[in-house]
């Protein structure tokens, strides 16, 4: 419904700057692609120029987050609304230990920060 793959947002050596990898069910594909790129470029996951914006639209997103944290992924964006189980203490741990950034609610500002 909110896909943006048909927008021309530029590319980096032929790879689109933004990829919508689908819903929570499709996360394994995104992880497979990221890990394949790690192997190809002989890099660690956090060394890839990869920005993950994890949407909290369903409870399954929590499982996706835990899986990504298990793989060592840091520096992700989460939101737009944080789940009810995410109290201030939990958010502080996620921000301080994994550099997660809650989405601000201002889409234009968030996109500027994400796109660098």
For 12-50, what is each residue's pLDDT tens digit? Answer: 888 777 777 777 777 788 888 889 999 999 999 999 888
pTM of the complete model: 0.73
Question: For the chain, which domains are there?
Answer: 11-115 (3.40.50.2030)
With b meaning 16 or more CB within 10 Å and e meaning fewer, what string describes 58-85?
A: eeebeebbeebeeeebeebbbbeeeeee
């Amino acid at each position: 419904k909110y896909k943006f793959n048909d927008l021309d947002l530029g590319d980096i050596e032929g790879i689109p700057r933004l990829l919508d990898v689908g819903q929570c069910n499709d996360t394994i594909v995104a992880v497979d692609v990221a890990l394949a790129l790690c192997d190809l470029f002989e890099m660690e996951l956090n060394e890839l120029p990869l920005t993950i914006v994890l949407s909290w639209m369903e409870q399954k997103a929590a499982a996706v987050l835990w899986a990504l944290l298990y793989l060592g992924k840091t520096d992700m964006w989460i939101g737009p609304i944080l789940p009810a189980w995410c109290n201030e203490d939990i958010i502080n741990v996620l921000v301080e230990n994994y550099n997660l950034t809650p989405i601000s609610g201002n889409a234009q500002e968030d996109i500027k920060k994400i796109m660098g």
